[in-house]
Amino acid sequence: MTASRATAYRVIFDQFLVRTDSEKAHHQAFAAIRAAKPLLTRVPFPGAPVEAMGLTFPNALGLAAGFDKNGVGIDALGGLGFGHVEIGTVTAQPQPGNPKPRLFRLPTDRAVVNRMGFNNDGALAVAERLAARAADLPAGPRPILGINIGKTKVVPDDDQAAVEADYAFSAAHLAPYADYLVVNVSSPNTPGLRSLQAVERLGPLLEVVRRTSVEASGRIVPLLVKIAPDLADEDVIAVADLALDLGLEGIVATNTTIARDGLRAHPSDIETIGAGGLSGAPLKARSLEVLRLLRDHAGDRLTLIGVGGISNLDDARERLDAGADLLQAYTAFIYEGPAWARRMNVGLV
């Protein structure tokens, strides 16, 4: 897409799309992307391949979890230029998520607030969908598939055995189809979930997921943990040490934030929106800081996926220079349009 067309999308978004309901607009846009799959999947991946976790990624930039929660548009999204697509968050049981409205734009900040609450079809339905995809995959390049798993809301967060069984159920059914798995313990929208980031709880959980995924798939599925930007630096280091001790392949840094510092949006608008995870440009500084902290501490022993506030080529290059092996984005995709991933991956070469 040319620069003029990219500007045209921005104009359309800022003048018209921003006035539409955020969640409805998401579903309509995603339906259009899926309908275009026959055309999109004929186009070669842009950018340069990246070797990480024993996998060959078609390029550096992928789509973060949250856009395709149920694995319904993986290859169409790959056709837009994303070298990997992380689906989910998937929970063991299907759940509707939080009451609507639950997705909000902050255009002046190029940000989004969501409190979706892990709305998804559940592990069994998603596994069935992925099995059908695997049986019908055409020849040729495809995006690397990450599967992000989280806790079912009704499972008590203070019952460690129940939490481990919940994640294990998802891992058992989804690992056979995953190129890599991500354990999500950092969304702010499931009550108590972030307490699982404490290493004394996270360690046993990750061990269960690792063991279950190997048993279910007959191979070592690369396993990563996704952490919050709101962790204190010492807790970030503790998670990195845990990942190294357990032999995890990597860390996804970072999820959304509960902070609201330095936003341009009017305070009354922020107050009206209420609780939820903030993503987009305001997350950039802390996500970059966490990434640097992880790389400085772990060296090259962990694969690091940098995500949070990556809006343009300068942001992407800065994240790679700071030590990211791979990148993910979601909010910038909303604001910049369907050709953004292809432009970014071409520009990174």
CA gap 263, 250 in Å, rounded:
31
Confirm whether residue 89 is marked as ligand binding: yes
Residues near 334 by beta carbon (within 8 Å), at least 6 away in sequence: 26, 105, 112
Confirm whether residue 76 is marked as ligand binding: no
Confirm whether residue 189 is marked as ligand binding: yes
Q: Which H or E run contains 3?
A: helix 3-15
Confirm whether residue 323 is marked as ligand binding: no
User: Would you tell me the crossing angle of helices 284-298 and 313-321 to the nearest 10 degrees?
Assistant: 20
Confirm whether residue 66 is marked as ligand binding: yes
* 286 three-state secondary structure: helix
Tokens of 161: 């055995």
4 in active site: no
Concatenated DSSP letters of 92-111: SS-B--SPSP-EEEEGGGTE
Confirm whether residue 67 is marked as ligand binding: yes
φ and ψ at 28, to 5 degrees? Answer: -65, -45
Confirm whether residue 21 is marked as ligand binding: no
Confirm whether residue 184 is marked as ligand binding: yes
Tokens of 173: 């059914």
φ and ψ at 216, to 5 degrees? Answer: -75, -30
Confirm whether residue 59 is marked as ligand binding: no
Confirm whether residue 56 is marked as ligand binding: no
Confirm whether residue 45 is marked as ligand binding: no
| C-alpha of 244 from chain center | 22
Confirm whether residue 24 is marked as ligand binding: no
User: Would you tell me the crossing angle of helices 199-217 and 233-246 to the nearest 10 degrees?
Assistant: 30
Confirm whether residue 68 is marked as ligand binding: yes
AA identity, residue 206: L
CA gap 7, 48 in Å, rounded:
26
Confirm whether residue 78 is marked as ligand binding: no
Confirm whether residue 41 is marked as ligand binding: no
CA gap 318, 287 in Å, rounded:
11
Concatenated DSSP letters of 171-210: HHHHGGG-SEEEEE---TTSTTGGGGGSHHHHHHHHHHHH
* 268 three-state secondary structure: helix
Confirm whether residue 272 is marked as ligand binding: no
Confirm whether residue 116 is marked as ligand binding: yes
| Given the residues 22, 187, 213, 287, the one annotated as active site | 187
Residue ranges at the known binding site for FMN: 65-69, 89, 148, 184, 226, 254, 280, 309, 330-331
Residue ranges at the known binding site: 65-69, 89, 114-118, 148, 184, 189, 226, 254-256, 280, 309, 330-331
Positions marked catalytic: 187
Residue ranges at the known binding site for substrate: 69, 114-118, 184, 189, 255-256
